A and B are shown apart, each in its own frame.
Chain A
Amino acid sequence: MIRPLLAVTFAALVSRCLWFPALPTLLCLLGLRFGGETGAKCGLFGGILGVILGFSPWYLPLFTLLGGISGTVFHNVSPFWGNCLRAIPILAVTCLLLALGHWLTGEDLAPCLTLAGRDFLRTVLTLPVVYPLCPKRRSP
């Protein structure tokens, strides 16, 4: 558990300092590799770190859900597709949820979708960089 939490800490700092959305991508990969429970714990930890570093508090449940659902729903999907390909639809849904959340607060749908699209592209672009950061699951 220590290695995933260290990776989450580093990704949170990178996200804060470089505006490089490494954290959501890492949480998604951690959930896929380690399962729903670990993914949710890492998501919760990442969300708490995010709030301490100045992100919106609403990322806390979002990150927890991201890590947990990645692991619970997609953990047992055929490994043929690989973690990166499985991460892409999960990240797309997360960005759509963000857009929906902002739309429900009264914003227009078009700019919400535009910004969600930008977010999604940036998170997908971080995959090659974040993938090596994600610790491998040790065989029992």
Chain B
Amino acid sequence: MKKPSQHKFIRLTAAALSLSLLAAALALVLNGTASPLRDGGETASRPFLRLFSPLSASLEGVKDWTRGMETLREETAALEEENTRLETAARQGELAQGENENLRSLLGWAQDRQDLDLLPAQVLSREKDTWDRTLTLDQGKKAGVRAGQYVVEAHGALVGLVSTVGRSWCEVTLLTSPDFQLAGLGTVSGTLGTLEGDLAHMVQGELLFTPFSPEFPMSLGEGVVSLAHGEEPREILVGTVTSLAEDPGRLTAAGSVTPTADLDRLSQVYVITGVREEEG
């Protein structure tokens, strides 16, 4: 009885390995688009996400209390109230171009970023895995979301990049995720480099900024923005250089960047769905 059972176990393990390789290959081929199975899974889990959201919210509340974030919670509540009021105005059909400018100023973002098309999105769920940092949003292909688009928070700081898109949902890879990678620019030194996540920095809530060359050394405390390429939005704030480290292999000082966006307390974000050409 024992041997046939062990053979079956080996066969099951081999089947599991094959299926996982197939799933990984499918993810590579689809390149940002969710498979129909995954789309169905997200849609099927949506009612359970809503069902469990009060409990999830309670667990988050306990965590916040232990961290002593009372004042920040009040600030978030005020912003959410403001957000609710603005959404009500939109539903009543009052949101015109003038209202849009008013919204941007209310949100505190620089008025000269009207070159960006912003799509508001609610955070449905946070990371489902300890080894990664992702968010799931309630906007997808139907609303014009595409893989690779930037996601920012209310003050314009980068939150992450859209990685997988379904019909009415999308997954965002956060800045501190090991899968995150983006070209960056130091605002003071002019250093060009790569912003990327790794597990060591993810544990600290930071990401790594590695300069392309040693000609422009970074300075501590300087801001880092995204480097536009093609139709990507220009100069989206990423964070601040909080430490520098010598990398013996590269002779350049790589820096740890602390994101400006508070990635642990996001409830509403904005997907940059388009960039308009500036007039003049």
Contact = CB atoms under 8 A, between A and B. Distances in A.
A119 B130 contact: yes
A72 B3 CA distance: 11
Q: Which of A68, A112, A119 has the most CB of B within 10 A?
A: A68
Q: Which of B8, B16, B49, B178 has the most CB of A within 10 A?
A: B16
Contacts of B251: none
B29 to A, nearest CB: 13
A18 to B, nearest CB: 5
Interface of A: prevailing SS: helix
Contacts of A63: 16
A60 to B, nearest CB: 4
B16 A111 contact: no
B89 interface: no
Interface stretch (B144-152, B187-195, B199-207, B269-277): B199-207
A118 interface: yes
Contacts of A16: 45, 48-49, 125, 128
Contact of A54 (B8, B19, B41, B55): B41
Interface in B186-227: 198-200, 202-203
A13 to B, nearest CB: 5
Interface stretch (A85-93, A102-110, A132-140): A102-110
A68 B81 CA distance: 51
Interface of B: prevailing SS: helix
Contacts of B245: none
A17 B56 contact: yes
Nearest to B166: A54
B72 to A, nearest CB: 21
Chain A interface size range:
35 or more
Contact of B16 (A37, A54, A61): A61
Interface of B: 5-6, 8-9, 12-13, 15-17, 19-24, 27, 37-38, 40-42, 45, 48-49, 51-53, 55-56, 59, 125-132, 136, 164, 171, 178, 198-200, 202-203
Given A17-B49, A52-B40, 6 more contacts: A14-B52, A40-B12, A59-B20, A102-B199, A108-B198, A118-B130
11 contacts: A19-B126, A37-B8, A37-B9, A56-B129, A57-B20, A61-B17, A65-B13, A72-B9, A108-B198, A112-B199, A114-B203
